[in-house]
């Protein structure tokens, strides 16, 4: 889960735009090639930025949360989205493929260890990576925590968030017949993968619009209409992952494995009024993590990376880490 609404409001907290010094396509096997870029200081502190979705893709604005004189900033597009190819492909595309891809990026770029920075689904994947490769993880900086649990999916796709936003919820739910609304993830799956491109794009835009409508605390409830190919990749990938419960071996997998991270610092930035990933997940994560976790609740903020308070706090954390 992730959207980037209202970016201009937060722009003055960020570093100036910076261009990559390295861009490449990395063949990760299974028929997939992923886009990887580096910006900032080639000899700086490595930080890998993990985008949301799944399927959200990286963006140039993500480079700007880091002092380019201090950090070696590594962005990548996860399988099936952004510049990665094949586009919108779900075959050989699971959480564990993405975890392995991240470590392949690390070894390809000759990075010994790095800071892992991710929000929303990017927080999920960051935690899964760190639990798999704790020795390679210096610390985690997370935003808008999503733990890939059934209760979180029920909240967002089962009507919980719809109690706060009934108008966009009605637009999302009423696009499918009444008898299918008991499982909207499955109902949308049938249409997002039906093979008719026009139908797939119609339902992809509706899926993306429901999420985008709730991303910012300043939302008016209208999620807009995403470009067709972006919406199709974003929605197919999210639906694929959520339908398969993130390909995790149990509900609550991340919290059940937090002992692996008990000695690794974590900084969590969470919007108080996050309607997509409510603060309970961040609270549960910190409670399980223990003394190494630092939770920072941002009042008057929702889910989006670009919320002003969230952007300001993330930059502050990265600046503080640069001085350690």
Q: What is the set of active-site residues? A: 120, 274, 303
Which of 154, 152, 185, 321 is closest to 252 using CA atoms? 152
Query: Angle at the Cα of 147 (from 167 to 62), degrees rounded to 5?
Result: 80
Residue with tokens 């071996």: 249
DSSP assignment of 64-94: GGS-TTTEEEEEEPPTTSTT-BSTT--TT--
Tell me whether strands 45-50 and 114-119 are parallel, antiparallel or unpaired. Answer: parallel
Instruction: Please answer whether residues 33 and 25 qualify as being in contact, where contact means their C-beta atoms are separated by less than 8 angstroms.
Output: yes
CA–CA dist 106, 101 (Å, integer): 9
- Determine what percent of the chain falls in helix, strand and coil, rounding each to the nearest 5: 45, 15, 40
> Residue 207 in 3-state DSSP?
helix
Q: Which residues pair with 85 in a beta bridge?
A: 33
Cβ atoms within 10 Å, residue 292? 15
CA–CA dist 320, 324 (Å, integer): 7
Which of 301, 312, 316 is closest to 5 using CA atoms? 301
For 135, counting Cβ atoms within 10 Å of its Cβ (0-12 exposed, 13-18 middle, 19+ buried), the class is exposed
């Amino acid at each position: 889960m992730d959207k980037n609404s209202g970016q201009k409001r937060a722009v003055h907290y960020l570093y100036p735009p910076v261009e990559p010094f390295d861009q490449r396509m990395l063949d990760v096997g299974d028929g997939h090639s992923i886009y990887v870029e580096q910006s900032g200081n080639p000899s700086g502190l490595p930080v890998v930025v993990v985008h949301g979705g799944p399927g959200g893709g990286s963006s140039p604005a993500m480079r700007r949360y880091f002092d380019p004189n201090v950090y070696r900033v590594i962005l990548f597009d996860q399988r099936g989205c952004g510049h990665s190819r094949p586009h919108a492909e779900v075959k050989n595309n699971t959480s564990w493929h993405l975890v392995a891809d991240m470590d392949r990026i690390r070894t390809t770029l000759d990075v010994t260890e790095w800071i892992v920075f991710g929000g929303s689904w990017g927080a999920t994947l960051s935690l899964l990576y760190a639990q798999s490769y704790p020795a390679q993880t210096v610390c985690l900086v997370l935003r808008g925590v999503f733990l890939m649990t059934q209760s979180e999916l029920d909240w967002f796709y089962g009507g919980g968030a719809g109690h706060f936003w009934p108008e966009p919820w009605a637009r999302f739910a009423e696009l499918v017949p009444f008898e299918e609304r008991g499982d909207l993830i499955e109902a949308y799956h049938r249409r997002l993968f039906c093979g008719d491109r026009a139908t797939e794009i119609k339902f992809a835009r509706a899926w993306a619009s429901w999420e985008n409508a709730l991303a910012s605390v300043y939302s008016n409830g209208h999620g807009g209409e995403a470009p067709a190919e972006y919406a199709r990749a974003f929605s197919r990938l999210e639906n694929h992952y959520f339908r398969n419960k993130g390909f995790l071996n149990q509900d609550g997998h991340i919290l059940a494995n937090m002992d692996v991270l008990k000695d690794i610092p974590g900084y969590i930035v969470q919007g108080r009024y996050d309607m997509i990933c409510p603060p309970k997940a961040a609270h549960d994560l910190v409670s399980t993590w223990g003394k190494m976790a630092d939770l920072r609740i941002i009042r008057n903020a929702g889910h989006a990376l670009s919320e002003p308070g969230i952007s300001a706090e993330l930059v502050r954390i990265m600046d503080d880490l640069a001085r350690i």
